[in-house]
Structure 1
Amino acid sequence: MAVAHVEEQQLLKTLRWYDGFVIALANPGFLLGSLGYSVADLGGWGAALLWGISAFVAVFINTIYSELAAMFPQKSGGLSLYAHEAWRKYTTLVGPIATFGYWIGWSVVLSFLGLFIGQLIQGAWFPGEPIGSPFGDGYFSTPGGCQVGLPQLIGIGLVLCVWLFNVFGVRIGMAFGYVAGVVLMIPLFVMMILPFLNGSFDSDNLTFKLNDPGLAWGGIQLALVWLWIMCWSAWGVDVCATFAPEYKDTARDTKMALRSAALFSMFVYILLPIGFVGGGTEKLVSGYAYTDAMDKIVGSTRLSDFFLVCLCISFIISMNTATADGGRALLGISRDGMTIKWLGRLNKFNVPGNGMTVDMVVNILFLLFIGNNFGILAASNLGYVLAHMFALSGFVLLRRDRPHWPRPIKLGAVWVPIAGILAAWCALLTIVGFGWMQVASGGYGETKEKVIGILVLLIAIVLFLYRRIVQDGERPHWREETPTMPEGMADPTASAAVSAPAT
């Protein structure tokens, strides 16, 4: 009797390293979305210092991920899948925690930035319309007391748009990314370079608040909390590794994408806070008055609408990337047996449509039922930074446990202790940042947000157990045997032992 074998649908290899670089242009949008909050707490010089430190650390982190991505070229889902590969020999629970933590860190970008764009548009063009939570009344309220105003409705529309950009194929999303990336250069030039060229930069506009009297631990606590919050933005170039299976030359393109994106990001994260705040004022940058700050830099109110449009497009780039990355993270999670099978399917356009749809629904619910999106973003950072901690420590474990595994990109031995130090840095940031995130601007991070951050990780474990016990029919087990070499390749140490003469 003939048996039909159905080959699993695979992601298409259509991207080059510069496509990955364009995808990572989401990062300046992440920075702009949080810059006002950080300047309010830290001052212009303090914000520039900490954003620069965070982006500098990201260069080292993403260099390490280039080796891991080349080791597992078929794994979609990025750093969290590498963490699972390294840790499942010791515990299977790291996998679902890291993968769902990584996914939620990217996913909530949609609701956060969608609401941010809505607030910018409402304030500039529709000042008479309800602004909604958390600043005022809305058209209607939802259970839990969230006020839904014009910004929330705009955010929902944008979430639907970026879902459409991506669900019909990677090239449609990439085409939009290239157009938006070109437009992004306009506000970046105005914020980063123009203040130094036209004389609007004034160092008196920048202050340093980390040495203010009364700060806990002499300001170190506030600095560590903000360094933890900044991870979701400054470390976001890891998205280039998520697309590793889709690069035409996995090793070269992944390495080039990660390196170029990390270096460009570091340049932006250091210079933009200095130029933008120095050219405007700290008071203007705090909150949503970006167009007012740019008016001061260029000396013309007629350009306000144009720069506002450019800013909104830059944020949409970030949302576009978050949709693409979040969907692929869920795909990888499912295909590695860590969540329900439905999320492991590609649609007819060879993209993870199911995962992207889950992202869309979750973020629309955030916009409808949760008013404090910045607090939710901070809560989601718990899983995101933990994913980095497990991936970086996983680099150390894989060097020890799989020394002969093919590494098309192999870093020098010095990178093993560097990875260990960075994993410890993630642990420190998580303890201080999650424990005291309420000291950041606005008092975000009270009990509700912390509970949500923990619940996401608990749900991940429940879905993992459902997949293994119900869908796969397995008995619960907390460790797994791991291969020392890829399937179909012999371990050189084993063959040497077999061929050795008896003594």
Structure 2
Amino acid sequence: MTENTSFKPSLKLMDATMLVAGSMIGSGIFIVSADISRNVGSSGWLIFVWLITGFMTLTAALSYGELSAMFPKAGGQYVYLKEAFNPLISFMYGWSFFLVIQTATIAAVGVAFAKFTAYLIPQFSEDLVALDLGFLTISPAQLLSIIIIVFLTYINTQGINSGKIIQTVFTLTKLLSLLGLIIFGLFAIKPDTWNLNWSNMWDMHKINLDGSTAQYTTMAAFGAIAASMVGSIFSSDAWNNVTFIAGEIKNPKRNIGLSLALGTLIVTVIYISTNIMYTGVLSLHEIAAASKDRVAVAASQQIFAGAGTVIIALMIMVSTFGCNNGLIMAGARVYYSMAHDGLFIRRVGKLNKNSVPGFGLWIQCIVACLWCLSGKYGDLLDMISFVVVVFYMLTISGIFVLRAKRPLAERPYKAIGYPVLPILYIIMGLTFCTLLIIYKPNYTWPGLIITLMGIPVYYLIKKLDKKALLSD
């Protein structure tokens, strides 16, 4: 396949770091602490879940630095899996990435934008009906999310610089907004609430919505931690999006690894600080029972009184808008690489006049919009967390495989803490996945089925491609 144009390296270290941080911070940090609190029941364990997730994210990001320096190509993780293992493994990743991981995430973030817009403009409420087609009812929130996705897709088809400006501006805005929320929240800490939350910080138990509690057995407690981490891992995911866009980053062998380390570190510190602030202004029961899990709204109402809801709504709108821009910008580069391997629609492997995979962006847009209409993206995102971690583990184990297969290959950057940190991530990832299989099977089988469906599809594509070659 020949390209009409080539990627233009336009992103500096700052831009790449903002892509990492901006793609990670969506709506999760404002919401998922409610579910985590219900599962673990104490401030110590709430912060521990975020610490463990942050450590895993940082460890994975530092490990990916070595792979990104070896293969500074568009497609990122897809390319690493292909080089370390085989095209089937990388296709299974790309398949699940296209069907759910990226597209359903774009849909979920888009709908989150619309839901919080409704705080300011009630006409966009998810509880209203904009269209009733008989077999399907569509809310104004769903329509607005589709409009935002289409708009951001169009912006990104106009060239990398268009998306870069939105990403950097919106990410800086939400980082500063979150920092401001943390600072104001720390000044508003209630000593009685703080002491109550931290007086028995390691007493793990389940908090029910009615305020009652239940104790765990030792093994069930491990299952509760794993279930809690589904939310924190989802909130910390998409940090690897910068690897997909490697062909458009200046000095990628240096800047991708640095941006991964800087971006994940910044977000980890912000996330942990935000949760510490939550425990200073809200009791654990208030966090667990927050209306529609909107912990940040409840906290902001304590900090800013009547203006709190509007402040958080604006923050989440900025956050989700910037997050979706990063997801949309980066995702199409994976399909571009798949198309170059003959494993996706061939036209997706060509760049438009603005040197971006325009057709791939629109294909991604269509699937994401369909997810918006389905209303099932949230369930699938919970269920795909298992698969996401499995592919992270596979990719990190690829460092060991490549060091054995290609010991003399150029490695401008080597994974920090190798082999200890990569092994530790794999052990932690295996523990997380095993606990989900045992205690929360509903979080595992749907993602596995979607991923395994890629095997027959891969061989069908290869068979069709072979027939096409023979006929030529």
Pick the TM interval, shorter chain: 0.7 to 0.9
The Cα shift of 1:119 comes to 2.0
Q: Kindly provide the amino acid, as one letter, of the partner of residue 37 in structure 1.
A: D
Distance in 2 (CA, whole Å) between partners of 1:140 and 1:450 is 33
The Cα shift of 1:151 comes to 1.8
Q: Kindly provide the amino acid, as one letter, of the partner of residue 22 in structure 1.
A: M
The unaligned stretches of length 5 or more in structure 2 are 207-213
The residue that corresponds to 2:25 in the other structure is 28
| Among candidates 302, 313, 318, match of residue 308 of structure 1 | 313
Task: Please tell me whether the aligned partners of residues 383 and 445 of structure 2 are also in contact (alpha carbons under 8 angstroms).
Answer: yes
Greater mean alpha carbon deviation, residues 151-160 or residues 272-281: 272-281
Distance in 1 (CA, whole Å) between partners of 2:422 and 2:257 is 17
The Cα shift of 1:228 comes to 4.2
1:16 aligns with 2:7: no
Distance in 1 (CA, whole Å) between partners of 2:115 and 2:136 is 15
The Cα shift of 1:184 comes to 0.8
The residue that corresponds to 1:270 in the other structure is 272
| 154 and 54 in structure 1: CA distance in 2 versus 1, 3 angstrom threshold | same
The Cα shift of 1:357 comes to 1.5
**Equivalent residues, number:** 449
Distance in 1 (CA, whole Å) between partners of 2:94 and 2:342 is 11
1:355 aligns with 2:340: no
TM-score by length of structure 1 reads: 0.80
1:138 aligns with 2:133: no
Distance in 2 (CA, whole Å) between partners of 1:222 and 1:392 is 26
Task: Please tell me whether the aligned partners of residues 4 and 352 of structure 2 are also in contact (alpha carbons under 8 angstroms).
Answer: no
Q: Kindly provide the amino acid, as one letter, of the partner of residue 153 in structure 2.
A: W
Q: Give the secondary structure class of the aligned counterpart of 1:237.
A: coil
The residue that corresponds to 2:81 in the other structure is 83
Task: Please tell me whether the aligned partners of residues 11 and 249 of structure 2 are also in contact (alpha carbons under 8 angstroms).
Answer: yes
1:392 aligns with 2:403: no
Q: Kindly provide the amino acid, as one letter, of the partner of residue 82 in structure 1.
A: Y
- Aligned ranges 1:29-428 → 2 under 5 Å: 29=26, 30-43=28-41, 45=43, 46-73=45-72, 75-88=73-86, 92-103=87-98, 104-126=100-122, 131-132=126-127, 138-140=129-131, 147-200=137-190, 202-203=193-194, 204=196, 210-212=204-206, 213-215=214-216, 217-280=219-282, 281-282=286-287, 283-284=289-290, 287-288=293-294, 290-299=296-305, 301-302=306-307, 304-369=309-374, 371-411=375-415, 415-428=418-431
The Cα shift of 1:250 comes to 1.4
Task: Please tell me whether the aligned partners of residues 79 and 241 of structure 1 are also in contact (alpha carbons under 8 angstroms).
Answer: yes
Distance in 2 (CA, whole Å) between partners of 1:266 and 1:218 is 27
The residue that corresponds to 2:211 in the other structure is none
The Cα shift of 1:278 comes to 2.6
The Cα shift of 1:186 comes to 4.3
Write the deviation string for residues 246-290 of structure 1: whole angstroms up to 9, x where unpaired: 221112111221111121122012111121343244133762364
Higher helix content, 1 or 2 = 2
Q: Kindly provide the amino acid, as one letter, of the partner of residue 31 in structure 1.
A: I
| 156 and 40 in structure 1: CA distance in 2 versus 1, 3 angstrom threshold | farther
Distance in 2 (CA, whole Å) between partners of 1:197 and 1:465 is 60
Task: Please tell me whether the aligned partners of residues 70 and 409 of structure 1 are also in contact (alpha carbons under 8 angstroms).
Answer: yes
Task: Please tell me whether the aligned partners of residues 152 and 368 of structure 1 are also in contact (alpha carbons under 8 angstroms).
Answer: yes
Report 1 or 2 for greater relative contact order, CA contacts < 8 Å, sequence distance ≥ 6. 2
Q: Kindly provide the amino acid, as one letter, of the partner of residue 392 in structure 2.
A: H
Distance in 1 (CA, whole Å) between partners of 2:76 and 2:183 is 33
Aligned Cα root-mean-square deviation (Å): 2.9
| 431 and 138 in structure 1: CA distance in 2 versus 1, 3 angstrom threshold | farther
Distance in 2 (CA, whole Å) between partners of 1:130 and 1:410 is 49
1:471 aligns with 2:465: yes
Distance in 1 (CA, whole Å) between partners of 2:356 and 2:184 is 40
Q: Kindly provide the amino acid, as one letter, of the partner of residue 345 in structure 1.
A: K
1:433 aligns with 2:436: yes
| 166 and 422 in structure 1: CA distance in 2 versus 1, 3 angstrom threshold | same
Distance in 2 (CA, whole Å) between partners of 1:149 and 1:315 is 19
TM-score by length of structure 2 reads: 0.85
Distance in 2 (CA, whole Å) between partners of 1:383 and 1:285 is 30
Greater mean alpha carbon deviation, residues 376-385 or residues 252-261: 376-385
Q: Kindly provide the amino acid, as one letter, of the partner of residue 373 in structure 1.
A: Y
The unaligned stretches of length 5 or more in structure 1 are 439-444, 476-503
Task: Please tell me whether the aligned partners of residues 64 and 415 of structure 2 are also in contact (alpha carbons under 8 angstroms).
Answer: no
| 209 and 42 in structure 1: CA distance in 2 versus 1, 3 angstrom threshold | farther
Greater mean alpha carbon deviation, residues 102-111 or residues 197-206: 197-206
Distance in 1 (CA, whole Å) between partners of 2:365 and 2:79 is 22
Task: Please tell me whether the aligned partners of residues 10 and 346 of structure 1 are also in contact (alpha carbons under 8 angstroms).
Answer: yes
Distance in 2 (CA, whole Å) between partners of 1:285 and 1:176 is 31
The Cα shift of 1:244 comes to 2.2
Over the matched positions of the two proteins, sequence identity in percent amounts to 18
| 231 and 264 in structure 1: CA distance in 2 versus 1, 3 angstrom threshold | same
